[in-house]
Amino acid sequence: MAQPPRSGTAPAPPTTLPAQRTGEQREPAPPPAQHRRTAFAEGVDRLRAAATTEPGRLRVIGALLALLVVAFGAVTAWQMSERAAAADDVLTRSQPLSSDAADIYRSLADANTAASSGFLAGGQETEASRTRYEKGIRTAAEGLVTAAANSDPDSPSQATVTELSRLLPEYKGLIERARTYNRQGFPVGGAYLRYANEKMQQEMLPAAEDLYQRENRRLDDDYGDAEPYPWAALVLGLLALAALGWAQVRTYRRTHRVLNHGLVGASAATLVVLLWLVVGHTLARSGLGDSYDHGVRSLNALHEARIASLKARGNENLTLVARGAETKKVGEETYDAYDFDFGKNMGALNAGLAQARELADDDAGRAPVAKAGDGMAEWKRRHTSARAQDENGNYQQALQMVIGGKGATEECFDNVDASLATALKHEEAEFEQAAGDGKDAMDGLPAGAAVLAVLGAAAALLGVGRRLSEYR
């Protein structure tokens, strides 16, 4: 007999659960959550399953062939567009700007030379000398306007142009004071002329040379962008041709049909683009290389020779203006400063003429350079005679031998300058011809490559589609 629970203790829990009420049903447990696959994974599975059948393989092959041909055309169009644009910059922008910068330098030096020649003439300054001075100043000012319009804001070139634009009016003011005092017979006019020459030689011409060097570096950069081989396009073209060849061999082994018209058409389009790319770019490199070797390098040598001749002429004149007031000590020897610089300038002129003669590739280019060399030799001979007269105290006779016209060193300088101008004109025409040929060799290639690539890709898809139709 069971004993009742003791007072103060809780009843024991039942050993069994109470039966469910009649009509009640237990809720079924929810199924475990399943991880949903991504669309990409499902697509990969479908592609893998399709690739196990021949129609599926053909679809994959067709898509890859079309992608390769289109990629080849796109990369070819992109790379050749960049090279064609750089070649156009060489021809129409950077080289002309380099020549303009050289003209600024030359015009400033020419104006300085003309100013010293006019000063030596005193109150009898010739109209030709005055006109030459004004032309040099005007040409330099116009060149600075062009350079300012074509240089980037806040660039070093823009800062150089701004500095030259500031210095040019100051230089003109000093020359006008020198000319005014010289006409009145005051010796202080010579001091103003020497000060103006110092500003030109130490501030303006170095700034102009810096501008010229910057434009030359821009020209070199454009050549560097135009000439490299388009390796990415060449590799893709060879890869596309190899893939098309493999696809045709595979088709032949399965069908024993020699040709698949679509794949043959795609191969032909790809081969045409590849040959066009190789031949066109090779011709472009040849033209651009010729324009640099026998154009740009020749022009640089001639510009430097012409500038050296202008500096030499200016220093020759200033030797008579200063009359020994400026000296330079080299080692134990003391020299007239301007005559010493004249010797250095003539050495630079001789070196420039030698380089220009070596770079000239035809008689039309060599003849004016040879003529300039003959004029330089005669100039040096006459200059030696004039210096001997001046050192012996015959100042007026020395002056006549320098600015006296017929038989004077002025005549030699004019002959040298005219010969160099003729050589420059010839080399500029040579440059334009060669650079134009190089640019023309790339004309139409970017657009043609894109069109042929699209046609080639369509032909590849049609060729594969023809094989797929046999399974329907």
Confidence (pLDDT) at 447 = 94
Confirm if 270 and 241 have CB atoms less than 8 A apart.
yes
Confidence (pLDDT) at 93 = 87
59/65 Cα distance (integer angstroms): 10
Confidence (pLDDT) at 44 = 72
294/189 Cα distance (integer angstroms): 46
Closest CA to 173 of 195, 205, 144, 150: 195
Confidence (pLDDT) at 369 = 96
Decide: residue 335, CB within 10 A, 0-12 exposed, 13-18 middle, 19+ buried.
Answer: middle
pTM: 0.78
Confidence (pLDDT) at 424 = 94
Taking only the tens of pLDDT, the chain with its 472 residues reads 444 545 444 455 554 445 444 445 555 666 655 566 677 777 677 767 666 677 778 888 889 999 999 999 999 999 999 999 999 999 988 888 888 899 999 999 889 888 888 888 765 667 888 898 999 999 999 999 988 888 888 888 899 999 999 999 999 999 999 888 888 888 888 889 889 988 998 899 999 989 999 989 999 999 999 999 999 999 999 999 999 999 999 888 887 777 788 999 999 999 999 999 999 999 999 999 999 988 999 999 999 999 899 889 988 988 888 877 777 777 777 788 888 999 999 999 999 999 999 999 899 999 999 999 999 999 999 999 999 999 898 988 998 999 887 889 999 999 999 999 999 999 999 999 999 999 999 999 999 999 999 999 999 999 887 777 777 5
217/420 Cα distance (integer angstroms): 24
Confidence (pLDDT) at 51 = 64
Closest CA to 286 of 183, 439, 182, 135: 439
Q: How many CB atoms lie within 10 A of CB 418?
A: 14
Confidence (pLDDT) at 85 = 94
